[in-house]
Structure 1
């Protein structure tokens, strides 16, 4: 799914109004109705009170229409129009007229009480066009919403959230009901306090405009994955499914290479070889009998040399930073031509020897967590600066960056893909080792590098989305990623059939 900037979204609105012979107010009614239907489905209890805070622009107009529809459907509704939140737009005035005629008045909400657990705040103060400092009166309202005991729904975007620069004060939303497109700001780490969950509501914007308007930002939902997913051919055998090498492990960290190697095989490749120190030989042979094993060194890898011809190589899980290991990694990279995934201490070795970046095969995949990313490319001022630096780094060295975080970003030159799956259950040791194995396995099966990264990250996150329903967040471990990987594949295959 494409992620558009504010200018593109406004263009989509205008073209839709023209192509579908609508007024802008009719489009407002359509959008607000979709939000109302979502709210009605998720909050069917007619004793739930809705307190709607509206600005005076078109986002406030959306809020007024939603309030009117809720009132018409016999929900208790209170409305506050915040006069400090902009000048009244024409569509806002029309929405307010219709609201008043429905029997609801702007009442400031000070003379009534709510039953705890049955209060929903609806935030419709500002939309995606907000681009100035908040007036003090509006800050007071936002602070009231943020300190409330009710559930908070934001319409299109949390009020106060900037689309193109860092935000300091905004509504802290439990759910954002956003129209037609996700917004890039929703997924940036610095905005995590303002956006918990999102629902993307289709409001029927012009399909030709959406299809034909270019963007560098994408949300990798199930439809995006369906375009990239490869089904296993009926005549496949282990020789056609690819051979993955996983190079890693050191004394005390053999589990990392075990997890990664097993993840590679369970991703669908035909053969997996683990290259690890001798202290891990018996461990991997007993833990994972399907793997072949090649050893070097007693407690850590001292050199990397093998006779096999893998289709893809994963380098780094548990490998450590012993001086001999560092030199072995650098020597290996100078001669490497195979598709490559680099993770963990292999990334830190690269960060300490940045001249080695020039030796990486084109489209090598790097999978850093935030500190590893900072060591690789330097610090950043904010999330937007970080994105610019990631794009520049990817372009300069010809690599695919998988920036692991709550919302993992895959950056390939100028393009940014925001992963749609995953949850806090993945914040556990070994999770990254499994991701390295999954991506390496997909590479070995012939996925192009960017697709291997995008599909691999999606699969990895989907295991947690499926698994937490049975294990809970706290008890989910990296081994559960492997356990639920098959169910993640089944879900993707089912969705592909429905496409």
Structure 2
């Protein structure tokens, strides 16, 4: 699913009005009806007090449409205009007049804290104060209103985005943002739903189809894309009847050190479990018996050093190499990695200490083969690209880093984001149970094993992140979050593959009239 920028959303609205021969007011009516339908289906006429807070821009106009339809369907509605400016949009004014024609209870004007209404915990708040067009700091009394929302404990539904959140820059004051329980986003999710600093302002979100021009949606290239089952299915490579292990490549996993052999073991097992034809582990001597016993399907090459990797030499021709997991950052290991990088021509997937060694000596990054895949967690990413002020700067730096070294950067997190050049691929699978030792090592093996089978580096990263998270999602159905460990994710990779061919995600509902008019 594409994630459109603010500018593209405006362009889509204008093009839709032109091609469908409708006014912007009619498009606003369509959007408001979709919000109303969402509420109407769930409330079924329940007389819970609904407080609709409308700004004086187009988001406020959407709110007025919602309030009008709620009123005409007999709901217990109170409407307010947050009078934060003397400027009003045309569509807001049109819908303000329409609601005054609908009810004798005209919207209350709020201009200061003394105007705030009483809101109870069992009430519902509809936030239509600011939309994606917000580009300036908000008034202090409006901040106080948002704090009033939060203190009430009422269920809060945000229209398009929680008010006070910018779509393209960081917020300045968390008190100046609506903390929504649910956000209904028009036509496309917003990138801010997936960034650590802004995702917290909406616990859940859903996309509503408001009938934006289909050609525009299909042909417009976006900087960000949301990755779900429908997006990874075209990446999947089915196996032919007469395939053999030689068709699926040879993965070499380089890692491990005294006390950290589990990292190399997890990566090696994951590479084979995801479908690599052969897997060899290059490890210190101390890990030989561990690896041969715990992973009988794999092959082992040992370093001459007993406890660490000190000289990377092997006599095989791997298809791809995954390295860095559990290898430590000793002087000997760092020297071995540098020597290896100077002669290596094979595709690489690099994680953990491999990244930490390169962070200390940035010149090593220039030795990476093109389209190497780097899989840092947040602290490793910081060491690579430098500190950032906020999530937007982090993504900007990550894109610049990817472009400079022509690498695929996998930023691990709740919504892992794969970065290549200027493009972001935001993953939708995974859960908090993955916040445990070894899950990153498994991801390294998964991506390595996919490249081994012939997937290109970017496709392997996107697909691997999805399957890794999906396996964890399937595993917690039996285990719960707290009991999930990395080994269980490996065991569930087969289920993740099988799940690809279960019923795919349903298409979004087309824009429609209120339920009682169908």
* Band the TM-score falls in, shorter-chain normalisation: over 0.9
Are residues 112 and 194 of structure 1, via their aligned partners in 2, closer, same or farther at CA, if it must alter by over 3 Å? closer
Q: 2:227 aligns to what?
A: 220
Q: 1:402 aligns to what?
A: 410
Q: 1:353 aligns to what?
A: 361
Say which of 380, 383, 389 aligns to 1:381: 389
Say which of 457, 462, 472 aligns to 1:449: 457
Tell whether 2:493 aligns with 1:489: no
1:147-186 matched pairs, under 5 angstroms: 147-168=151-172, 169-186=176-193
Q: 2:516 aligns to what?
A: none
Are residues 25 and 445 of structure 1, via their aligned partners in 2, closer, same or farther at CA, if it must alter by over 3 Å? same
Tell whether 2:202 aligns with 1:195: yes
2: CA distance, partners of 1:243 / 1:431 = 22
Compute the displacement of 1:341 (Å).
Answer: 0.3
Are residues 2 and 498 of structure 1, via their aligned partners in 2, closer, same or farther at CA, if it must alter by over 3 Å? closer
2: CA distance, partners of 1:197 / 1:58 = 23
Compute the displacement of 1:44 (Å).
Answer: 5.7
Say which of 144, 148, 154 aligns to 2:148: 144
Say which of 198, 207, 215 aligns to 2:214: 207
Say which of 135, 142, 145 aligns to 2:139: 135
Q: 1:261 aligns to what?
A: 268
Say which of 439, 442, 448 aligns to 1:434: 442
Say which of 324, 327, 345 aligns to 1:316: 324
Compute the displacement of 1:399 (Å).
Answer: 0.8
Which structure 1 residue ranges, 5 or more long, are not aligned?
Answer: none
Aligned-pair Cα RMSD in Å: 2.4
**Aligned 8 A contact 1:55 1:86 in 2:** no
Say which of 285, 304, 307 aligns to 2:292: 285
2: CA distance, partners of 1:22 / 1:236 = 56
Are residues 309 and 464 of structure 1, via their aligned partners in 2, closer, same or farther at CA, if it must alter by over 3 Å? same
TM-score if structure 1 supplies the norm length? Answer: 0.93
Aligned residues, how many?
497
Are residues 359 and 111 of structure 1, via their aligned partners in 2, closer, same or farther at CA, if it must alter by over 3 Å? closer
2: CA distance, partners of 1:41 / 1:424 = 31
Compute the displacement of 1:132 (Å).
Answer: 0.8
Compute the displacement of 1:496 (Å).
Answer: 6.4
2: CA distance, partners of 1:303 / 1:331 = 8
Q: 1:18 aligns to what?
A: 18
* Post-superposition CA distance 1:277-325 (Å, at most 9, x none): 2222222233222222222232222221112222111101111122222
Say which of 320, 336, 339 aligns to 1:331: 339
Q: 1:106 aligns to what?
A: 107
Are residues 480 and 144 of structure 1, via their aligned partners in 2, closer, same or farther at CA, if it must alter by over 3 Å? farther
**Aligned 8 A contact 2:53 2:82 in 1:** yes
Are residues 235 and 63 of structure 1, via their aligned partners in 2, closer, same or farther at CA, if it must alter by over 3 Å? farther
Q: Which one is further off, 143-152 or 46-55?
A: 46-55
Q: 1:56 aligns to what?
A: 56
Compute the displacement of 1:380 (Å).
Answer: 2.2
**Aligned 8 A contact 1:85 1:138 in 2:** no
**Aligned 8 A contact 2:116 2:145 in 1:** no
1: CA distance, partners of 2:23 / 2:15 = 11
2: CA distance, partners of 1:466 / 1:69 = 41
Corresponding residue SS for 1:230: coil
Corresponding residue SS for 2:222: coil
Corresponding residue SS for 1:228: coil
Compute the displacement of 1:112 (Å).
Answer: 6.5
**Aligned 8 A contact 2:100 2:106 in 1:** yes
**Aligned 8 A contact 2:249 2:452 in 1:** yes
Compute the displacement of 1:488 (Å).
Answer: 1.9
**Aligned 8 A contact 2:251 2:452 in 1:** yes
Which structure 2 residue ranges, 5 or more long, are not aligned?
Answer: 508-518
Are residues 253 and 106 of structure 1, via their aligned partners in 2, closer, same or farther at CA, if it must alter by over 3 Å? same
2: CA distance, partners of 1:18 / 1:130 = 25
Q: 1:94 aligns to what?
A: 94
* Post-superposition CA distance 1:107-158 (Å, at most 9, x none): 58977664x4x43322111110110110122111111122231222211111
* Post-superposition CA distance 1:383-437 (Å, at most 9, x none): 2222222122111111111111222221111222222222322211111111111
2: CA distance, partners of 1:255 / 1:71 = 62
Corresponding residue SS for 1:446: coil
Q: 2:77 aligns to what?
A: 77
Corresponding residue SS for 1:147: helix
Q: 2:32 aligns to what?
A: 32
Corresponding residue SS for 1:432: helix
**Aligned 8 A contact 1:57 1:86 in 2:** no
2: CA distance, partners of 1:256 / 1:47 = 57
